[in-house]
Structure 1
Amino acid sequence: MWRSIASNALTLLIVALVLAAGAVAWGKAQYTAEGPLESAICLRVPSGTNMRSVSQDLAEQGAISAAQVFRIGADYTEKTSQLKAGAFLIPEGSSMEEIVDIVTRGGASTCGTEVVFRIGVNATEVQVRELDPVTQAYVEVAEFAPDAEDLVVPEKYTEVRATSDARYRVLVAEGTTVWRVVESLKLADFIDGSVEADEMPQEGMLAPDSYEVRAGSDVDDLIARMTAAQEARIAKVWAERTDGLPIESPEEMLTLASIIEKETGIAAERRQVASVFVNRLNQGMRLQTDPTVIYGVTNGVGVLGRGLRQSELQSDSPYNTYVIGGLPPGPIANPGLASMEAAVDPDETPYIFFVADGTGGHAFAETLSEHNANVVKWREIEAQRNGN
């Protein structure tokens, strides 16, 4: 009898072990297999959420087939305690294993709402946009100018500021001045602090680029990142300069690049514009460029908002390149990388003149007579535009 009982118990134990092993194998297969999600989703994980809530949310959205298997898998791989808050893009067909990795990996949110703070040459704007998880393209949902006199902050922006998973990005355009960047950042309510007057970076030393920032981060840290990025670009570009240039230092390169930046916004023209200024410097000619004169009038603060006066074109300002020889004493804006590269590797051309051609670009000329003819054409275009 006891042998029979022992035999039956052993049989039951073996069956139980087989079933358990089968269950483990099934669970592992479920955990690593392609998931049921048919279209990508944006999974929001609020701060303080646990893995149970995440698994239930995923199950309700059809991203996983078994919430319990998801939790057991996270526990078994010791990732439950590593859950991160944020908004995460979950691609279609993601396995439970892949989803656990996504929500525990850390780093910036990969989807959801993004606030883009754009600092332009003449204007600043805030754009709120959301990532469509299916197309993975951003869709604008709100926009406003933070310095508008009749400012009305969109309700959507207020809602976003109250959440913890929104991403923030600061975009600095090529050709901005240091003053413009610093003043604009004062309007960014998601960044703390302000730059004191005696701590202003030197003109030209803030790299135009896109910077991801965290809400509540310090403005000094952001300025330091911009400065470090520009220093790195200057060093790299100067080390790769061509021979025989009429510029003798990285500082002069930055000054020339800033003039190129202000003279054209067309990428294909930068090296041609650079060639004109290099040819003039090589021939001992004055640069005669309006943007430097404007900088001498404004000191990089604000926008001139009118044409230059004859008195300004004849002034003894160190930035008046109609009067002084060579380069002005320093940069007149923050140049982008492309303008710096053009300054140290200009096209080889015979041009020493250029003027607007009416298309947004410029007409280049080798002789004064050719240039004067181009000027006449430009004035005719201006007159037509002004209805004269």
Structure 2
Amino acid sequence: MARKGCSFLAAIALAFLAVGGWFAWGWWGTSAVGEEDQTFIVPSGSSLTAIAGKLEDESIISDARGFLLRAKVFGGGEAIKAGEFMLPAGASPATILSTLQSGDVIRRMITIPEGMPSILVYEALMAEPLLTGDIAVPAEGSVLPQTYDFERGESRGAVLARMQQAMSETIAELWPKRSARTVAKTPNEAVTLASIVEKETGKKEERGMVAGLYSNRVRTGMMLQADPTIIYPITKGKPLGRRIRRSEIAAINDYNTYTMVGLPRGPITNPGRASIEAVLNPVDTDVLFMVADGTGGHAFAKTLDEHNANVEKWFAIRRERGEMD
């Protein structure tokens, strides 16, 4: 009798194991309904029950109740994460759950180029359809130009805060490393002068020289005479789209360095790290003048006579291009 009882219990155990194995195979081995790679969004605070229903509604799985049951039995106790996920075609329910529990959230990218003014940063963030919420135009010079990642549905305010935090951290890092040659007395002056350097040259290798030139002008009390400072009060940093007028060169305001000595009241764009470094560690040079050289760069000069000769060369280039009579 004892042997028959043991055999009976063993048979029951095997039956349970077989059923359990079949159940587990059904969970781990079968494919979901989705036939193509598909993104799936888990809203913040969603329950597993809600997500099972959402997966069925979006035709990623065929049976929300079955998914939920198997998830509770075989899925472990790890919570699902909020965010956007990529689910591969034909993924099993086990793979789907694992992805939502421990997979990588899809990160999107937005790039702020060096020298992008705050009005354009604002427009870029507001134009990104995957972000949410409103922001104000950030303070000029408060955003560090670089590439930032974000999640679908993230607030614009949160992304902007990271951009501004990156600038604050960069200044905090670079300011203590400034050389004795810098004319910036405060971090804000450093960003202000760097914004002019950023707008004045498109060549990375010139930044140190341009910073040295403007540092010399500040140091000796010369006007900076930087064209971008004329444009900024007119367009807030956007392209002017035409030549500067004589009346604009003569305009008196807090930015026009053709009618004032020293730095403008604040930055005229968002300078990159390299331009800030150039201002805090300018090239040791005697140059005081520069003019375009036709290559995207500048011809530098120590004296007005040398500068005038460089200007004539630039005018000759422009005449050849049909830009001047």
TM-score above 0.5: yes
Deviations 1:164-205 (A, max 9, x none): xxxxx554333233344446656566543453xxxx654322
Choose the corresponding residue for 1:104, options 82, 101, 106. Answer: 101
> Whose strand proportion is higher, 1 or 2?
1
Structure ranking higher in helix proportion: 2
Match of 2:320 in 1: 384
SS in 2 for 1:192: coil
Query: Alpha-carbon deviations, 1:28-65, whole Å to 9, x = none?
Result: 999999x9xxxx944536774418859x9489xxxxxx
- Asked if 1:364 corresponds to 2:305, the answer is no
Offset at 1:216?
7.7
Q: Distance in 1 between matches of 2:22 and 2:306?
A: 81
Q: How many residues align?
A: 310
Structure-2 change in CA distance of 1:29 and 1:274 (3 Å) = farther
Give the match for residue 133 of structure 1. none
Specify the SS of the correspondent of 2:296.
coil
Q: Which runs of 5+ in 2 are unaligned?
A: 44-49
Please tell me whether the aligned partners of residues 351 and 366 of structure 1 are also in contact (alpha carbons under 8 angstroms): yes
Report whether the alignment pairs 1:272 with 2:269.
Answer: no
Structure 1 vs Structure 2: percent identity of aligned residues?
A: 35
Kept in 2, the 8 Å contact 1:79–1:100? The answer is no
Other-structure match for 2:255: 319
Work out whether 1:288 is the aligned partner of 2:228. no
Quickly say closer, same or farther: Cα 1:98–1:266, change in 2 above 3 A.
farther
Report the Cα distance in structure 1 between the residues aligned to 2:303 and 2:158, rounded to whole angstroms: 49
1:254 correspondence with 2:191? yes
Q: Secondary structure at the match of 2:236?
A: coil
Q: Find runs of 4+ consecutive structure 1 residues off by over 6 angstroms.
A: 18-33, 68-71, 94-98
Report what 1:7 is aligned to: 3
- Closer/same/farther in 2, CA of residues 214 and 98 from structure 1, 3 Å limit: closer
The CA distance in 1 between the partners of 2:38 and 2:180, in whole Å, is: 52
- Give the one of 107, 113, 116 matched to 1:176: 116
Q: Is the 8 A contact 2:212 2:282 kept in 1?
A: yes
Inter-CA distance 27–252: structure 2 relative to 1 (3 Å threshold): same
How has the CA–CA distance of structure 1 residues 307 and 98 changed in structure 2, closer, same or farther, with 3 Å as cutoff? same
- For the Cα contact (< 8 Å) 1:204–1:333, is it kept in 2? yes
95-104 vs 204-213, which deviates more? 95-104
- Residue 192 of structure 1 is matched in structure 2 by 133
Q: Greater relative contact order (Cα 8 A, min sep 6): structure 1 or 2? A: 2
Counterpart pick for 2:310 among 343, 360, 374: 374
Structure 1 gaps of 5+ residues are 60-67, 115-168
Aligned equivalents of 1:173, 1:329: Cα separation in 2: 23
Give the aligned residue type for 1:360: G
Query: In the TM superposition, what is the alpha-carbon distance from 1:256 to its structure 2 partner?
Result: 0.6
State how far apart, in whole Å, the 2-side matches of 1:187 and 1:289 are.
31
- CA deviations over 1:276-306 (Å, ceiling 9, x no partner): 222333344332211112224x162654322
Cα offset, 1:257, TM superposition: 1.0
Q: Which amino acid aligns with 1:324?
A: M
TM-score normalised to the size of structure 2? 0.71
The correspondence of residues 10-49 of structure 1 with structure 2, limited to 5 A, is 10-14=6-10, 17=13, 41-44=37-40, 48-49=50-51
Contact preservation (8 Å) 1:254, 1:335: yes
Instruction: Quote the Cα distance in structure 2 between the aligned partners of 1:186 and 1:27.
Output: 49
Code of the aligned partner of 1:50: A
Deviations 1:238-288 (A, max 9, x none): 122223322211111111111111112333332232222223333443322
Q: Is the 8 A contact 2:195 2:271 kept in 1?
A: yes
More off after superposition, 232-241 vs 372-381: 372-381
Among residues 117, 127, 150, which one is paired with 1:212 in the alignment?
Answer: 150
Matched position secondary structure for 1:7: helix
